[in-house]
Homo-oligomer: A and B are copies of this chain.
Amino acid sequence: MHEQETCVAVRDVLSRVGDKWSVLVVSMLRDRPLRFSELRRTIEGISQRMLTLTLRGLERDGLVARTVTPTVPPRVDYALTDLGRTLLDPVLALAAWADGHRGEIARARERFDRKDPGKQD
Closest to A91 in B: B94
Residue numbers in B under 8 Å from A23 (CB-CB): 10-11, 14
Count of chain A residues with a beta carbon within 8 Å of a chain B beta carbon: 46
Does A50 belong to the interface (CB within 8 Å)?
Answer: no
**Chain B residues with CB below 8 A from A102, complex form:** 5-6, 9, 13
**A62 and B10 in contact, given A90-B97, A97-B86 (Cβ under 8 angstroms):** no
A101 contacts the other chain (Cβ, under 8 Å)? yes
Contact B13–A98 (Cβ < 8 Å): yes
- Which residues of chain B have C-beta atoms less than 8 A from A14's C-beta? 17-18, 23, 94-95, 98
Contacts of A31 in B (CB 8 A): none
Q: How far is the CB of A83 from chain B (nearest CB, A)?
A: 6
Provide 9 A-B residue pairs closer than 8 Å at the C-beta atoms, listed in order of the A residue.
A9-B98, A10-B95, A14-B17, A60-B113, A61-B105, A83-B105, A87-B97, A87-B101, A89-B93
